[in-house]
Amino acid sequence: MKKILLLLCVGFLLATSSKTSAQEAKKQVSNGSEAVQFKYSASTALDYLSSDELNGRDTGSEEIDEAASFIEKAFVSFGVQPYFETYRDSFKLKEVDGFNVVGVLKSSKTNANLKPLVIGAHYDHIGIIESVEGDSIANGANDNASGTVAVLELAKFLADQDLGRDVIFALFSAEEKGLVGSRHLAEKMKAQDVVPYVVFNIEMLGVQMKDKEYRAYVTGYKTSNLAEVFNSYYEVEDQFLGFLPQAAEYGLFKRSDNYPFFEVFNVPAQTICTFDFTNYEYYHHVNDEFEELDVDAYLKLLEDLKPGVLQLTNSEENTVKLN
C-alpha cells in the first residue's frame, strides 16, 4: 500500500498543472522502493554525468537513459515541470530510440503572453571509441556534461525567481549524430505553434578562455544583437560574450543545437562556449574527463552567468532580435 501511495504521489507531482509554483513542488523522488531526497550539486552532477559509469552517453544506450533519469530527478527537485506529458520527448533515429529531456518553468504573471526562452544543451556524447592506453570511454566531460550541468544550474536558479516569461529547458540527444534531437524538438514546437523568443544554447564551458577580453564567445555573433544585449547586463569592463574568429571560420553556428531552431523559426538562436581550439586538447577524446576540467573556474562562470540569463528572461519582447 505504501508503495502504491508513493507512486501515486510521484505521478501527481509530474502531472501538476502549470499554476503550481516551483517553490511548492515536492522535492521527493522515488528510487522504485522508497522515497529519497535527491541530492544535487553542480560539481557532483558534472562528475557523475562524465563518469565511466555512463560509458560516454551514446544515443540509444542504456547509459544515456540513466543520464536522462538523473536530469529528470534534478528537474523534479527544482520544481521544473515536464514540458510535454512527461519530460521525455522521443524520436527515432533509424533503428535507435532517442529522447530529449524537456522541462518548463511557467511565468507566474497572469498577463504573461511573451514568447518563451529556450535554454538548451546536448547531453549525449559519442560513447565507446578507439582505445587509448587501455581507455575506450569518451566521457564527454567538457562536451557536453558541462553544458548539461549549466542548464541544470540555470533551471535551479530560475525556479526561485519571478519570471516574466516561460522558460523551456531542453537537454538534447543525438547532437553527435547530426543535431537530430534539437531538430525534432524545433519541428514539434512549430507544429504546436510555439515560437521561441531566443534559443540560448550552451556548449563546452568546462575550460576557461585565456587572454581574451570576454568570458565566453557566442556563435553566429553577427546574426543578432544577443551579445550586445547580454553584455549590457554587466559592468562595461566585464564583457561577457565576445566574438571568436575561429567560430566563424569553422562554421560553429551551424554545428550545434541552436541551428535547427534558427532554420525552423528564424529567431535569435545561438550557442555560448569557452572552447577556443587552443585551451583544451581532448575534444572527442577518451581524456575528456572531469579531472581535466577547471571545476572551480567553471562554477564561478555559472554563478556569473545567472543574473544575465535572468535579465534576458525578463527582457521585453524583441529586445534581442536578428540583425
Q: What is the pLDDT of residues 204-258, one digit of tens each?
A: 999 999 999 999 999 999 999 999 999 999 987 779 999 999 999 999 999 999 9
Q: Could you give the 3-state DSSP secondary structure of residue 84? A: coil
- Predicted pLDDT of residue 112: 62
- How much is the CA Rg of the chain, to the nearest whole Å? 19
Higher pLDDT, 18 or 276: 276
Quickly list H helices, the chain: 2-14, 42-49, 62-78, 146-158, 180-191, 226-231, 245-249, 258-265, 295-313
Mean pLDDT of 135-159: 98
Using CA atoms, how far apart are residues 314 and 114, in angstroms rounded to an integer?
10
Q: Which helix (H) or strand (E) holds 169?
A: strand 167-172
Rounded average pLDDT over 73-87: 98
Q: Which cell numbers hold the place of 169?
A: 529547458
pLDDT of 55 strictly over 90: yes
pLDDT at 110: 62
Per-residue pLDDT for 111 more than 80?
no
Beta bridge partners of 92: 97
Among 70, 59, 77, which residue's Cα sits nearest to residue 182? 59
Q: Which three cell numbers stand for residue 87?
A: 519530460
Domain ranges of the chain: 2-313
pLDDT at residue 7 is higher than 80: no
**Superfamily of the domain at 2-313:** Zn peptidases (3.40.630.10)
CA-based nearest residue to 77, from 147, 30, 34: 30
Q: Are 229 and 308 in contact (CB under 8 A)?
A: no
Q: What is the three-class DSSP state of 172?
A: strand
Burial class from Cβ neighbours inside 10 Å (0-12, 13-18, 19+) for residue 56 reads buried
pLDDT at 308: 98
Termini Cα distance of the chain:
60
CA distance 142 to 145: 6
Q: Which residue has the cell 558534472?
A: 46
- Mean pLDDT across the chain: 90
**Does the pLDDT value for residue 121 go beyond 80?**
yes
Q: Which amino acid is at 55?
A: N
Q: Is the pLDDT of residue 43 over 50?
A: yes
